[in-house]
Chains A and B, each alone.
Chain A
Amino acid sequence: MKLPCDVAGKVDAICDAHGNNPGELINILHEAQHLMGYLPEEMQKLIAGKLNIPVSKVYGVVTFYAFFTMTAKGKYPISVCMGTACYVRGGEKLLDEFKRVLGIDVGETTPDGRFSLDCLRCVGACGLAPVVMIGDKVYGRLQPVDVRRILEDLDA
């Protein structure tokens, strides 16, 4: 897969802004991931080339930290909170329902590219537990029965 031209240019600019310094790799990956929501192979190769380090080093860092991902996020990225409050109020059941309805596991994206599923730890809205974030929007006090309706509303 080839990177879109504008993305490649932006990756270049990010590396340059960090002085193409290998010590800045994590910060660079952090910013680069914002461009497409994930770090595809081509992007890692580009970064390795700019910093003059082996791709295996870049890939090693990407696979070490849970924050970095190589899976394209869906149009609607779903994150189910697994923080303490959400967990005790049924966060896991909620997560299982998302998995069942979407037919994907955590860290995966539906084949049509619409939904991706992840976990997160606390968005600071414990009063609304259990909480799910879809994109920038927070959904609170959810039950497994609500899952199908929310997904259908998003899709409408």
Chain B
Amino acid sequence: MEERQITLQIDHHFVTVPEGTTILEAAQKIGIDIPTLCHIDLKGTCIRNNPASCRICVVEVEGRRNLAPACATRCTEGMVVRTSTLRVMNARKIVAELILSDHPNECLTCPKAGNCELQNLALRFNIREMPFNGGELSPRKREVTASIVRNMDKCIFCRRCESVCNDVQTVGALGAIRRGFNTTIAPAFDKMMSDSECTYCGQCVAVCPVGALTERDHTNRLVEDLADPDKVVIVQTAPAVRAAIGEEFGLPAGTLVTGKMVAALRELGFDYVFDTDFAADLTIMEEGAEMLNRLARYLDGDRSVRLPILTSCCPAWVNFFEHQFPDLLDIPSTARSPQQMFGSIAKTWWAEKMGIPRERLVVVSIMPCLAKKYECDRDEFKTDGNPDVDYSISTRELARLIKRANISFTLLPDMDFDQPLGTSTGAGVIFGTTGGVMEAALRSVYEMYTGKTLKDVNFQAVRGMQGVRRATVDLDGFELKVGIAHGLGNARHLLDDIRHGRNEYHAIEIMACPGGCIGGGGQPLHHGNSAVLYARANALYREDAGKTIRKSHENPFIKTLYSEYLGKPLGEKAEHLLHTHYFNRSVQ
């Protein structure tokens, strides 16, 4: 049946929309930008929060006595809406002033300054004084975790973080507790996030409109390390960073700035600029070998082998299954994430080649992710207390540091990564988007399994933004069934099926963040615009298409690494340096 169309009038413009459309969406369609605060709807993903609680988006509807929230009011035939009358503007201003009345006046030193949606509204509504004295707020919790900083005095109760944590990610770490002026957003029993089931995915940070939830900043530490002449400071950059950091310098979303990013890192003073994509290729060697090994045993009739094999590159996802599915710890691949593989190889093979003692070498990672900060801290990735990756900086932090170091990013020349840990294939690049790890694995697994050359490396079936995708790949007669999920709620569906013995897959890729790493918690803020995520994903596929080598196992330096040092995938040395084990972290 065809959708019924409705025609209404907004600010004297006629607009026709399908039944069920909200006033906010109808207005957006004709370029009328109604301000919002609590509302977020990242179209094409499952990120949505629409409690209609802040009342910033009120509009006047003819024939209606009260102002209506545009985000939650559906259009009706013949409706006449006005979005900028004096009454509307005054109401909005008062709502904003009331929110500001118990918000700390710390804009000058707030990490969100300049990127704060509340601050932007104050500017937009021309608020020049604070007419209301707020109620007495009881001081709320502050907490610094390995990844996330929580300063609940700044919380405005939009509930975006709660929606994302519960409905999208189904982690359930954050929820509103108590009432009135004592309300706060916290884990159950008002525990610390670090004692909760939080996975550090950082999606709460990605949607927080104010400075209540922010990343743990390591830029000061980095500045000191870079200035220390006794230290050799090297950097690895995750694939998704190059597709997003340009946004922080005014470039359109999806602009690839790989070369400028490398140049900026050299300007900052890193001794060597390497690429996590190299380690992504290495991950495919190990994870692919593991997948083939499990498949071969399965096809030989060994029914004790655990299938499907699940990817393990995403530290928030690892946290998720350690907390929520401790009974399935033997299913994910034991391969470490690319970040950790990089650190491990940099501090052994590379450091030995270069004659740099471990204690002088500082490995920094630039990540689109906040969970990576926590991952660096995990004990199993340390040797005698010295971490393989010393610390991780988010895309946002790097952008801030580049500005602080007076570097005109857009004027920089394009430069290349250093060798050998900076050489990567197209397969490594697409790790940054949902479906990319699976596609990279398929390119290698196909050739390793069949012994034939793969003609077309583009596996369109695994690409896209649908929450759960499935595809069947013909491996010379054997039908390999693969699944892809992004967003932990989608992952939970697949895991529940596996737990209950319903499984149709041989291999599944999971990324915690909607869109994969391009939508990570450490990326430039999307402010609810999902076009940004699509543009970043496309940028990675463009970079892949432009590479001469597009299969991980053809990376010449990966070959050197195995012949010189590691031996073969899943060999003794590889197991020791590139694989890990998982823990039951269930808190209930």
Residues on A facing B (Cβ under 8 Å): 41, 44-45, 48-49, 53-60, 63-64
Contacts and interface: CB of A to CB of B under 8 A. Distances in A.
A92 B54 CA distance: 38
Given A55-B188, A56-B187, A56-B188, A63 B172 contact: no
Interface stretch (B5-13, B173-181, B538-546): B173-181
B176 A60 contact: yes
Nearest to A44: B188
A63 B180 CA distance: 11
A112 to B, nearest CB: 25
B588 A59 contact: no
Contact of B188 (A49, A58, A64): A58
Given A57-B175, A60-B177, A64-B177, 12 more contacts: A45-B588, A48-B588, A54-B166, A54-B173, A56-B172, A56-B173, A56-B175, A56-B177, A56-B187, A57-B166, A59-B190, A64-B179
B588 A63 contact: no
B175 A59 contact: yes
Given A45-B588, A56-B187, A63 B173 contact: no
A59 B179 contact: no
Q: Which of B166, B175, B186 has the most CB of A within 10 A?
A: B175
Main secondary structure of the interface of A (DSSP, over half): helix
A64 B178 CA distance: 5
Contact of A60 (B171, B173, B175): B175
Contacts of B189: 41, 55, 59
Nearest to B183: A64
B177 A54 contact: no
Contact of A56 (B174, B178, B179): B174
A63 B177 contact: yes
A57 B172 contact: yes
B172 A49 contact: no
B166 A63 contact: no
A55 B176 contact: no
Nearest to A45: B588
A147 B256 CA distance: 77
Contacts, number: 44
Given A41-B189, A45-B588, A49-B588, A55 B172 contact: yes
A129 B491 CA distance: 60
Choose among A41, A48, A53, A56 the residue with the greatest number of B CB atoms under 10 Å from its CB.
Answer: A56
Contacts of B179: 63-64
12 contacts: A54-B172, A54-B173, A55-B172, A56-B166, A56-B172, A56-B175, A57-B175, A59-B189, A60-B175, A60-B177, A63-B178, A64-B179
Contacts of B187: 56
Interface in B170-218: 171-179, 186-190
Contacts of A56: 166, 172-175, 177, 186-188
Choose among A41, A48, A59 the residue with the greatest number of B CB atoms under 10 Å from its CB: A59
Contacts of B190: 59
A156 B179 CA distance: 40
A129 to B, nearest CB: 29
Interface string B224-249: 00000000000000000000000000
Nearest to A49: B588
Contacts of B178: 63-64
A23 to B, nearest CB: 16
Contacts of A58: 188
A49 B587 CA distance: 12
Contacts of A45: 588
Contact of B177 (A41, A48, A49, A59): A59
Contacts of B186: 56
Contacts of A54: 166, 171-173, 175, 188
B208 to A, nearest CB: 17
B505 to A, nearest CB: 24
A50 B150 CA distance: 30
> 7 tightest A-B contacts by CB?
A54-B172, A56-B175, A55-B188, A56-B188, A59-B188, A60-B175, A63-B178
A63 B588 CA distance: 19
A53 B162 CA distance: 13
A143 B189 CA distance: 39
A63 B176 CA distance: 9
B342 to A, nearest CB: 35
A69 to B, nearest CB: 13
A55 B165 CA distance: 13
A112 B279 CA distance: 61
Contacts of B174: 56
A49 B186 CA distance: 19
A44 B173 CA distance: 15
B481 to A, nearest CB: 28
Nearest to B186: A56
A64 B182 CA distance: 10
Contacts of B188: 44, 54-56, 58-59
A53 B165 CA distance: 12
